[in-house]
């Protein structure tokens, strides 16, 4: 793989990673609502899902998914239903009355496993993630690309995820952001719920 292709892979995958989507808003919601450990578990779920995407892209299974309508649609509707479920839960959740000062002593109402599974399923059931990664592998690599080229692309995308998602958590868990969040907690939680519902509808409709 030449340098130009390498730069394209790094740039396109980075832009795709940082563009706001279901993963971003889920990680944002959990970063604002939960302690750092739980928010990082959500990140770990997203990163693990990306590793799974990379495995089947390298193995060529992604082509099968995109070329099989019933399989792709099943993935699309499952992902949409999951986003709608998370969004509705956030929309209907009652304000905890927590402040920045009392957050650290608040009882955690989510387990590490649940936080991890939220991130894993949000990314894994998103058909747009499958198509995005498939596009990178099919458009930037060709028939003459070696297995080493494919593994290099997969490693680049996964390492970007490993750096980006924890960074999102640390940014939104800074004191400045947290203090402002708790002043508008109810409004922000409802807004994030609405965004997740809208994203779920878009996924279901194939937009």
Question: What are the tens digits of pLDDT across the range 53-98?
Answer: 999 888 876 666 667 788 777 877 887 887 788 788 777 766 554 4
Structure tokens at 9: 């892979």
The pLDDT score that the predictor gives to residue 12 is 86
**pLDDT more than 90, % of the chain:** 25
Looking at residue 101, what is its pLDDT?
40
Answer for the pair 25, 195: CB distance below 8 angstroms, yes or no. yes
The distance from CA 170 to its chain's CA centroid, rounded to whole angstroms, is: 16
Q: Which residues contact 54 (CB under 8 A, 6 or more apart)?
A: 133, 154, 157, 158
The pLDDT, as a whole number, for residue 163 is 95
Residue 106 has pLDDT above 50, yes or no: no
- State residue 125's pLDDT score: 86
- Written as six digits, the tokens of 69 are 């309508």
- The three-class DSSP label of residue 97 is coil
How many angstroms separate the CA atoms of 27 and 167, rounded? 11
List the structure tokens of 176.
């400045």
* C-beta neighbour count of 187 within 10 angstroms: 10
Q: Quick one: pLDDT at residue 3?
A: 84
Q: Alpha carbon 53 to chain centroid distance?
A: 12
Q: How far is CA 9 from CA 66, 136, 138, 194, in A?
A: 21, 7, 12, 33
Residue scoring higher pLDDT (33 or 186): 33
Closest to 23 measured CA to CA, from 3, 53, 2? 53
Give the span between the Cα atoms of 113 and 111, in whole angstroms. 5
pLDDT at 114 over 90: yes
Does residue 31 surpass a pLDDT of 60?
Answer: yes
Q: What is the pLDDT of residue 65?
A: 65
Q: pLDDT tens digit string along 144-172?
A: 778 888 899 999 999 999 999 999 999 88
Rounded Cα gap, residues 105 and 108, in angstroms: 9
Q: Is the pLDDT of residue 107 over 70?
A: no
What is the chain's mean pLDDT, rounded? 81
What pLDDT shows up at residue 165?
A: 95
Buried b vs exposed e over 151-166: b needs ≥16 C-beta within 10 Å?
Answer: ebbbebbbebbeebbb
- Distance, CA of 100 to CA of 178 (rounded, Å): 7
pLDDT at res. 181 = 66
Contact 197, 84 (CB under 8 A): yes
Q: What is the mean pLDDT of residues 14-28?
A: 87
């Amino acid at each position: 793989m030449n340098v130009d292709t390498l730069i394209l892979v790094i740039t396109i995958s980075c832009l795709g990673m940082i563009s706001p989507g279901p993963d971003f808003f889920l990680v944002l919601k959990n970063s604002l609502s939960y302690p750092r450990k739980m928010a990082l578990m959500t990140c770990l779920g997203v990163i693990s899902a990306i590793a799974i995407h990379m495995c089947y892209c390298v193995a060529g299974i992604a082509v099968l998914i995109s070329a099989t309508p019933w399989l792709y649609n099943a993935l699309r509707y499952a992902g949409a239903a999951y986003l709608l479920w998370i969004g509705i839960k956030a929309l209907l959740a009652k304000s905890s009355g927590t402040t920045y000062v009392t957050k650290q002593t608040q009882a955690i109402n989510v387990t590490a496993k649940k936080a991890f599974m939220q991130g894993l399923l949000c990314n894994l059931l998103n058909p747009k993630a499958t198509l995005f990664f498939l596009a990178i592998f099919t458009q930037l690599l060709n028939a003459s690309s070696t297995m080493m080229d494919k593994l290099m692309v997969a490693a680049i995308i996964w390492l970007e995820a490993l750096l980006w998602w924890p960074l999102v958590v640390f940014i939104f868990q800074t004191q400045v952001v947290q203090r402002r969040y708790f002043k508008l907690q109810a409004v922000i939680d409802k807004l994030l719920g609405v965004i997740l519902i809208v994203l779920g509808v878009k996924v279901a409709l194939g937009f």
